[in-house]
Structure 1
Amino acid sequence: MCELFAYSSRVPARVRFAFREFARHGGPHAANPDGWGAAYYEGSDAHVLREAQPALASAFVPVLEKHDFHSPLVIAHIRRASRGPVTLVNTQPFARELFGKRHVFAHNGDLPDIEQALPLAHAAHRPMGQTDSEHAFYVLMQSLQVLDAAGESGDLKRRIEAVSDFAAKLRTLGAANFLFTDGDLLFAHAHRRRSHPGNTWVPGLHLLMREAASEHQMRASGLHVQGRDDKPAPAVMLASVPLTPEDWEPLPENTLLVVQQGRLIARLGA
């Protein structure tokens, strides 16, 4: 299955992925994924880097692993294709502009028949690819556009309700773990995923919260987080599977978290 990761803090950190290793967290068959991508926010925009090929075969991955981006908000995705060909247009995370901000979405799961169950209402914005994940992203974007038309896009409560309603609809269709952000708020929805080995249902996301300290560092197989030592701040990390021996919390099914600058500001669901 696909792998998700997110990092949020008030202070920018250097988050580097060794995608060859990171892909292996998904199980013995995930080391050769069908694409990878990461979004590094800088203000209201983001560097969105994607490639529709295995990390093992990529000449760009070694360059990315040595990058010097410092970002307060990062989302990453490793793809194992279930719908749509292995092409750039089907590679996550997806990014689109809305309300003058870069919105980013990444999904882990399978949503059969989403096109029929949740048809898109407007012709102005259509998916470019063939995945259920991108279609789901546009369903959410159109929900947010409805809020804007009603003058409620700036209302935090209404935004949370819109994302919560969207998550509830996805859960009726299939596995619906996702990360979504507008560069300010990070939404993380935990549903369920297939385990490796065993093929049983297990928690879809895990949470690690760190309080402010003199230094934020994390080294794991496939991941290195290096904070700025002179500006300590709380940090939140989310991942499909725990990445370190620390006490990651397995999120119950149907949990929606809302994170802002490394702090958990809302928790809905189970």
Structure 2
Amino acid sequence: MCELLAMSSLLPTQLTHSLAALAAHAGGESHNRDGWGVGFYRGRDVALFREPTAASDSELVKLLQNQGPSTKLIVAHLRHATQGAVNLANTGPFARELRGRMRIFAHNGNLRGLGLSAEFDGGCYQAIGESDSEQAFCALLARLQLMEMQYPELPSLHERLFLIGRFAADLRRLGPANFLYSDGDALFAHADRRFNALSGKVEAPALYHWHCPVPHTLLQDEASGEQRVSFIASVPLSEDDWRPMAEGEVIALHDGAVVETLLLGKGKNDL
């Protein structure tokens, strides 16, 4: 299955070894060789880099590892194609503008029948490719648009997290629905289930969270003063103490810290 990676920090920093560690997971006989992408936030905008090729073979990944922009928020993705051809249009993360902010989304799983359900209508947001991940993103944006148009700025973090939790609960009925979403202000992560090669089952944990002591070799701290950094990843990228997220856990991170958590009910559609 695909792999996800995200970082949230208090002060701008440069992603270094964690990007290399992620890219290495596309090497050899890995199934995650169908594309890669990484988005670096700068305020309301995002610098997005994607290729429909293996990250382990990419010169662009090496360039970003050594000279990538400093940022407080990153979302990255390795693709294992399950729906849609191997091309740029189907390569995550996906980005769209909503109310003057770039939004970014990356998904891991296989959502069957998503495009046939009116419940996941994207409204004015249309997918460019054929992937279930992009279709899910469009559906999320349609729901966010309905809520956000009622506010002059972003709704409270609690309101955003609750909507994302409801969306995650709906999505899980179609299959594994691990995803990362950001509006440039906060990072949201939903952990569901993932294929475990050791057990041969689709099960939790599907995402891991690590609050990183700094300075650390997984990143390059360019800021002066006190720093705070958190990572979310499909699998631990180091030998540090990564916390497995529970099935149905949805967290919101801001400035490198988890600020609020939801846990979906056992019925897959309850908060």
TM-score, normalised to structure 1, is 0.89
Aligned to 1:75: 75
Structure 2 residue aligned with 1:230: 224
1:31-78 deviation digits (Å, cap 9, x = unpaired): 661000000111111110000112244343332232141111111100
- 1:112 maps to a residue whose letter is R
Secondary structure in 2 matching 1:168: helix
Indicate if the aligned counterparts of 2:122 and 2:141 stay in contact, CA closer than 8 A: no
Q: Distance in 2 between matches of 1:72 and 1:202?
A: 28
Please give the alpha-carbon distance, in whole angstroms, between the structure 2 residues aligned to 1:161 and 1:114. Answer: 21
Q: For residues 207 and 125 of structure 1, what CA distance do their matches in structure 2 show?
A: 31
Cα 1:61–1:26 shift into 2, 3 Å: closer
8 Å Cα contact 1:216-1:228 kept in structure 2: no
User: How far apart are 1:266 and its partner, in Å?
Assistant: 0.3
Determine helix, strand or coil for the equivalent of 2:204. strand
- After superposition, the C-alpha distances for 1:221-270 in whole angstroms (9 at most, x for unaligned) are xxx31113522222111110111111111001000000001111101106
Alignment identity in percent? 36
The answer as to 2:258 corresponding to 1:261 is no
1:93 maps to what in 2? 93
Q: Is the 8 A contact 2:25 2:32 kept in 1?
A: no
Letter in 2 for 1:158: E
Give 5+ residue unaligned stretches, structure 2: 265-271
User: Would the alpha carbon gap of residues 47 and 171 (structure 1) be closer, same or farther in structure 2, given more than 3 Å must change?
Assistant: same
**Distance across 1 between alignment mates of 2:20 and 2:11:** 27
SS in 1 for 2:252: strand
Q: Do the aligned partners of residues 249 and 28 (structure 1) sit closer, same or farther apart at CA in structure 2, a change above 3 Å counting?
A: farther
Task: Kindly report which structure 2 residues correspond to 1:110-125, keeping only aligned pairs within 5 A, or say none.
Answer: 110-117=110-117, 118-120=119-121, 122=123, 124-125=124-125
Structure 1 range deviating more: 14-23 or 201-210: 14-23
Long gaps (5+) in structure 1: 219-223
Within a 5 Å distance, the mapping from 1:46-85 to structure 2 comes to 46-85=46-85
- Residues of 1 paired with 2:204 and 2:156: CA distance? 34
Counting matched residue pairs gives 261
Over 3 Å counting, the alpha-carbon distance change for 1:134 and 1:32 in structure 2 is: closer
Q: Deviations over 1:71-106 (max 9, x none)?
A: 111111000111100010100000111111110000
Contact 1:25 1:241 in 2 (8 A): no
Residues 207 and 244 (structure 1), Cα distance of their counterparts in 2 relative to 1, 3 Å cut: same
Q: Deviations over 1:95-135 (max 9, x none)?
A: 1111111100000111000112334152x321101000001
Q: Which residue of 1 aligns with 2:109?
A: 109
Single out whichever of 129-138 and 231-240 deviates more from structure 2: 231-240
Shift of residue 157 of structure 1? 2.7
CA distance in 2, matches of 1:20, 1:87: 22
